[in-house]
Amino acid sequence: MEIFWLSAIAIFTVGFLLMKKKRKNGCDLLPPGNLGQPLVGETIRFLQAFKRNKIDEFLRQRVMAYGPVFKTCLFGQPTVVMTGPAGNRFWLVNDGKLFHGNARGPHRAIIGRNSLLDKNGEEHRLVRAALMTFFSPDSLKKLVGKMDSAIRRHLDEYWDGKETVHAVHLMKFTAFSVTCDVLFNVQDKFQVEELCELFKVATDGIYSFPVRFPGSRLNRALKARSQIDRILSEMIMRRKNDLKSGGPSARQDLISALLSLTKKDGKVLSDQELKDNIVLLVIAGHETTAMTLALMCKLLAENPLCFDRIDKEAADIGVGEQLTWEDVQRMKYLWSVAQETLRFIPPISGIFRRATADIQYGRYTIPKGWAMYWSNYSTVYREDLFPEAHKFDPSRFQGSGGIRPYSFLPFGGGLRMCPGNEYAKLEIVITMHHLVKRYRWSAQIPDEPIIRNPLCVPAMGLPLKLTPVLNN
Ligand code: HEM
């Protein structure tokens, strides 16, 4: 505990002195803004806004006071916030050149230090290239049938026959099962349930207070991570044996794709690198997709006309045994509902980086070592970019030319843009297509508020009343 506070005070003091030194030299103009109280800065206000899903208000107040780029102090670090399409563009073009990832604390301990998230330069490019190939349109075309079957099986087993469901909880499990099945070839029901529980405990720890003691969330999370590692070690060993014996390695999945990577020095990824990347992919891949789907369920319950349009569009799609790539391409209105959901309530509200050099942005200098923050919320509620921005209106994503460049980036952009974005699209539309074909639903809690925990979720877990559609 003491070590934590001493380190926090040291980080803040060094940051503060660096900033003062710059000011004295007089050559660099820092962005305007308020560094807030010593040490705490504006962290409490930021966290309050974050928890209530009001980051847009936190940003808007400061943009009005200081302009589109401003300084603040968050989590003990002087931080520059870049907003608007120009800020987004600068971020995308310079990510990985002028600033790098800033993973710290429990995040790093639980996902591990060897995943893509913690790598820069060549090491980052290598794993990323493998993911981009795995998630390329050609590969995804081959996954449609498999994903369709996995989703149907899951709905048969866990959704059918239920009168009420807690959509947040069930959707997380749905996305988790589909991830295990489609990406890692894990279908065994008991193993999926066990892994899902372990990942839930591990993920909880990512956003916990960064101190480990018996019974703490972080402690439970790290123990869960060790158990996950044991299961992954066995899976990796089996897969290596398969590859050696020319066995079922043809069942191309993400583990096989990562196993076949060779670094510049001729070495393959170590087991720890494999495990950390698998953990990253499971965590990054299922929660975001699940929350988008849960929020779509909520928004569709509140907007029955949108539901009817999806239902109409779905009527003559997927009349064969299995959905095809062509079927998915016809789900245009459904995808515009998904995009509007991602705009209306972006699952990832913002991203931190650290400046690796002094950065010139307009007439301002962002000192080396400062944190930088970028948020989707700086654009998605701007009336000049999205007229009637507080109205849920999927039609703004129909047709071409409606969305201004750099104003809608739910999957980030640049060097670290989400490599799973097309895969996520596939999973979202196929899952929602089946839900609409099978059920009608209504929210049991009218106007259930949205909180961030840390992704956006309906505060009470979104209980829904389900009614099956006969003869679906
Ligand atoms: C609706 C669903 C999703 C959303 C909104 C989303 C959003 C994002 C965003 C904004 C980033 C950029 C983070 C940054 O710049 O630091 C990101 C990165 C990432 N996402 Fe996603 N994501 C989604 C689904 C997925 C899926 C399905 C996968 C994989 C199965 C995935 C894997 C990753 C990985 C590995 C990264 C790190 C990339 C890197 O550091 O190079 N995501 N995601």
- Which of these, 41, 45, 40, 48, lies nearest to 72 by C-alpha position? 41
Task: Give the per-residue pLDDT at 260.
Answer: 87
Question: Is 167 within 8 Å of 295 (Cβ atoms)?
Answer: no
pTM: 0.91
CA of 353 to the centre of ligand 1 (A): 15
Question: Is 294 within 8 Å of 175 (Cβ atoms)?
Answer: no
* Shortest-distance Cα residue to atom 1 of ligand 1: 289
* Shortest-distance Cα residue to atom 35 of ligand 1: 281
Q: Chain centroid to CA 211: how far?
A: 25
Locate the DSSP E strands across 275-369: 350-355, 359-361, 364-366
CA of 183 to the centre of ligand 1 (A): 15
CA of 284 to the centre of ligand 1 (A): 6
**Which of 118, 418, 427, when mutated, tests ligand 1's pocket best, judged by the most ligand atoms within 8 Å of its CB?**
418
Closest ligand 1 atom to Cα of 415: 41
Task: Give the per-residue pLDDT at 250.
Answer: 43
CA of 411 to the centre of ligand 1 (A): 6
Hey, what CATH topology would domain 1-105+350-378 get? 3.30.43
Question: Is 33 within 8 Å of 66 (Cβ atoms)?
Answer: yes
- Which of these, 331, 317, 352, 320, lies nearest to 427 by C-alpha position? 331
Query: Which tokens sit at 304?
Result: 């029955």
CA of 457 to the centre of ligand 1 (A): 18
Question: Is 414 within 8 Å of 82 (Cβ atoms)?
Answer: no
CA of 189 to the centre of ligand 1 (A): 26
* Shortest-distance Cα residue to atom 9 of ligand 1: 411
Task: Give the per-residue pLDDT at 6.
Answer: 46
CA of 424 to the centre of ligand 1 (A): 9
Cα separation, 107 vs 109, in Å, equals 6
Closest ligand 1 atom to Cα of 282: 30
441: helix, strand or coil: strand
Task: Give the per-residue pLDDT at 109.
Answer: 83
Q: How many CA within 13 A on the CB side of residue 147?
A: 27
Integer Rg of the chain from CA: 23
Task: Give the per-residue pLDDT at 277.
Answer: 96
Residue for token pair 């997380």: 172
Q: How many CA within 13 A on the CB side of residue 153?
A: 14
CA of 15 to the centre of ligand 1 (A): 30
* Shortest-distance Cα residue to atom 27 of ligand 1: 285
Task: Give the per-residue pLDDT at 104.
Answer: 63
pLDDT in tens, 127-173: 999 999 999 999 999 999 999 999 999 999 999 999 999 999 999 99
CA of 472 to the centre of ligand 1 (A): 34
Give the single-character DSSP code of 268. Answer: B
Cα separation, 206 vs 158, in Å, equals 28
Query: Which tokens sit at 62?
Result: 């400061």
Give the single-character DSSP code of 286. Answer: H
| Bridge partner residues of 373 (DSSP) | 81, 352
Cα separation, 125 vs 113, in Å, equals 16
pLDDT in tens, 54-105: 999 999 999 999 999 999 999 889 999 999 999 999 999 999 899 987 666 6
Give the single-character DSSP code of 302. Answer: H
Residues contacting residue 245 through CB under 8 Å, at least 6 positions apart: none
Closest ligand 1 atom to Cα of 424: 27
The parts of the chain modelled with pLDDT lower than 70 are 1-27, 102-105, 210, 247-251, 471-472
Cα separation, 455 vs 169, in Å, equals 13
Closest ligand 1 atom to Cα of 277: 35
Question: Is 255 within 8 Å of 268 (Cβ atoms)?
Answer: no
pLDDT in tens, 424-449: 999 999 999 999 999 999 999 999 99
Q: Chain centroid to CA 165: how far?
A: 24
List residues near ligand 1 (CB under 6 A): 116-117, 128, 280-281, 284-285, 288-289, 292, 347-348, 351, 410-412, 416, 418-420, 423-424
* Shortest-distance Cα residue to atom 41 of ligand 1: 416
